[in-house]
Chain A
Amino acid sequence: MLANSWNLLVVLGGVMALGISFGILSPFLVLQRRALIGDVVAHAALPGTVLGFLGAAAAGFDPRSSWWLWGGAIGTGALAIAALGGLERHGRLRRDAAMAAVLATGFGLGTALLSLVQQVALPGRAGLGGLLLGQAASMQAVDLLAAWAVMAAVLVVVVLLWKELLTVTFDPLFAKVAGLGGGRLEMILMALLLVAIATAMRSVGLVLLVALLVLPGVTARLLTDRMTRLVPLSAFMGALAALGGTLASTRFADLPTGAATVLAAATLFAMALAVRHGWLDRATSLPVRQLP
């Protein structure tokens, strides 16, 4: 699928950086028991991406410009997080209903707008088709830079706010009492998530990036109980899945990188599950013959 080695390097570097960013964020979301928030944000980022495309075209810029698409995605993604908070605070709807409602509403608007784009002749509209399943091969140098910038931001924030993040994750009540700024910390975490999702939309696709937000964290959680090991291990799992998925998609024609990456991450998860429960030992050890 990937023609030459420069392309391959760009894609590999970009997808692996995204895998690491998601891998670092994943344990916090999983441990806070809201692994699917990324699903909601990613679906709700679709209308923003299309609006960004239309906005760029209307303002006379190149509608394929990544900046406009990212800006739009972050905009409606943030709206979705706000709407989610509003629905939950109202009190009568539970979180699952609020999440499903926001997800479907945002995505519905996105598909309605996409159908509009398909009826007008604008250059580059074909590029929007890959938002669902992702087109890693279309990654450009700017996407690579963005992925690395996001990774750096995630790393810096998590290292600097390590203690606070741990407190909020494991003891939100204490964090509140101690005045650790749960609200602000929450906003920082969501902002990181938003930016990471916006930059990953076109390469991994909005359905499949959810897997990279859940699988590495759970996989690492099966293998260790210590947070100082869990987060690096999760980042490593994300990078490994991205490497495996990208390389697999170069071997087989038409194999989408995003889907291959998810299957690689799922394989790692299954292996961790097997290790945790000792299935491998049992399968490889010889059966003990029972005496009559």
Chain B
Amino acid sequence: MMIDEAFWQLDFPAIMAASFAAAACALVGSLLVLRRESLAGDALSHLVLPGIVVAWVVTGSLAAWAMLGGALAAALLGTSLLAALGRHRLIGPEAATGIVFTTMFAAGVVMLSQWVGRRVHLDVDHALYGNLEGVVWPDLTSLAGLLNIDVLAQAPRQLPMLASAIVVVAALLWMLRKEIVLASFDPENAALLGVPPGRIDRLVALLTATVVVASFESVGAILVVALLICPAATARLLTDRYGRQLLLATAIGLADCWIGYLIAVAGPPILGYDLALGAAGTIAFVSGLMLGIVLLVQRAMVSPGRGSAGPEGWTRAGT
């Protein structure tokens, strides 16, 4: 990969979008992994589809606010349905997840096929597979461009969207750190101390939905699921402390992005093929590979039976 004008216009914004998404996802993903809600990312990334379609049909625009609004509304509806069905004695949380996300996704697909047809470019495939290569910044021709206000104003819209998602998520996690940790590890005690666990549950669901939607357009639903869970799970293997978990997950997520992007762009040419792998998919695969490598190394180094998985293995120090 050469550092030339094309790098700043094409590769740099794509790497930035992936990195921003990785940072936002790692923070929320750590929460999901700790709260045993890892599949919420997968569910939310599918069930927001009808919300986005309805928002598009109603407002006629694909602007960020319309998509975000529709998606958050669908996320609220979906999570309430999920909670209600999950509490049902005969259904349970896992089956409820399977029911709600597939049904809402199917509804979104049907709406797309009936209302939108093939006339416009509201592509399910793009939303799911992600189109990192579509994040381009024609005005940015060198590193110095990042200091130029006119160039910054022309940034691809995914970048400010992702940046604001990071700010919102980080700020809320910082302000509510005690409440979130308490409600996640000890819901009964939290209720006694005046922190309603249900409200924290909804907050986590909304944060997840925000990150998923902000990342949707650039990295796609599946890379979001990978970035939410794989770095956080890798960090979970390495630390028992909440604060370190968040920092480590972010660092691992960023590393996954950069390695994955490099492999996607430079891998096939090194092997002599004039092709490129899809960057979003490659990053997702690399993040899972990293988890597998850490796991295998750890298993080779640590004698079996030592690691404890329960919340009892956690210390609240470092929060």
Contact = CB atoms under 8 A, between A and B. Distances in A.
B230 interface: yes
A86 B32 CA distance: 21
A258 B112 CA distance: 14
A107 B282 CA distance: 10
Given A100-B42, A259-B113, A266-B103, A108 B128 contact: no
A214 B99 CA distance: 7
Contact of A256 (B37, B110, B298): B110
Interface residues of A, number: 65
Please classify the interface of chain B as helix (H, G, I), strand (E, B), loop, or mixed, using the class held by over half of its residues. Answer: helix
A120 B39 contact: no
A170 to B, nearest CB: 15
Q: Of B38, B236, B280, B307, which is in contact with the most chain A CB atoms at under 10 Å from its CB?
A: B38
Interface in A65-103: 83, 86-87, 90-94, 96-103
A252 B281 CA distance: 34
A116 B42 contact: no
Nearest to B291: A101
Contacts, number: 218
A210 B102 CA distance: 7
Q: Interface extent on B, as a size class?
A: 35 or more
Contacts of A133: 109, 124
B225 A211 contact: no
Given A211-B99, A252-B114, A105 B285 contact: yes
Interface in A187-243: 207-208, 210-211, 213-215, 217-218, 221-222
Contacts of A93: 33, 233, 236-237, 309
A138 interface: no
Given A91-B307, A221-B90, A104 B292 contact: no
Contacts of B289: 105
B36 interface: yes
B54 interface: no
A62 to B, nearest CB: 22
Contacts of B114: 252, 254-255
A87 B99 CA distance: 25
Q: Of A101, A217, A262, which is in contact with the most chain B CB atoms at under 10 Å from its CB?
A: A101
Given A105-B226, A112-B277, A263 B125 contact: no
Interface in B91-124: 91-92, 94-95, 97-99, 102-103, 105-107, 109-110, 113-114, 117-118, 124
Given A39-B98, A208-B105, 17 more contacts: A35-B97, A87-B295, A96-B37, A97-B36, A100-B225, A100-B233, A104-B230, A105-B291, A111-B284, A120-B275, A129-B125, A132-B124, A208-B106, A214-B102, A221-B91, A258-B109, A260-B106
24 contacts: A43-B222, A90-B307, A91-B308, A92-B307, A94-B38, A97-B33, A97-B229, A97-B232, A103-B42, A105-B230, A106-B288, A107-B281, A112-B277, A112-B285, A114-B278, A115-B281, A208-B102, A211-B99, A214-B95, A222-B90, A255-B114, A258-B106, A259-B109, A263-B107
Closest 6 CB pairs of A and B: A108-B284, A105-B288, A115-B278, A111-B281, A112-B281, A211-B102
Interface of A: 30, 33-36, 38-39, 43, 83, 86-87, 90-94, 96-116, 119-120, 129, 132-133, 207-208, 210-211, 213-215, 217-218, 221-222, 252, 254-256, 258-260, 262-263, 266, 269, 276
